């Protein structure tokens, strides 16, 4: 018998969000001031990418659950 409802939803795991390690004071002194903004901009882009990935996985899981639970999409046979 096919899986139904929550049992049909695949378990999709994303890797942990990438995090930039803290720079030491010595490292910060060697990084040009102009690069500080680029580093922060890159980190913000990674956070945005991770948010989109989590939303896509959640949306897919919700859709599969709805289809296999007899929701609106599931009744369009």
User: What pLDDT shows up at residue 72?
Assistant: 55
More confident residue, 48 or 1: 48
Q: What is the pLDDT of residues 17-56, one digit of tens each?
A: 878 888 899 998 899 988 988 998 998 998 999 999 999 9
Query: Residue 58 has what DSSP assignment?
Result: H
What would you report as the CA-atom Rg of the chain, rounded to the nearest whole angstrom? 21
User: What pLDDT shows up at residue 74?
Assistant: 44
User: What pLDDT shows up at residue 51?
Assistant: 93
Rounded Cα distance between 43 and 47, Å, is 6
Query: Residue 25 has what DSSP assignment?
Result: H
């Amino acid at each position: 018998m096919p899986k139904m409802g929550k049992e049909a939803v695949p378990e999709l795991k994303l890797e942990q969000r990438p995090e930039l390690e803290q720079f030491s004071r010595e490292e910060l002194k060697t990084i040009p001031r102009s690069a500080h903004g680029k580093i922060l901009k890159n980190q913000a882009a990674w956070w945005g990418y991770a948010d989109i990935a989590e939303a896509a996985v959640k949306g897919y899981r919700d859709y599969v659950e709805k289809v296999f639970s007899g929701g609106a999409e599931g009744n369009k046979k």
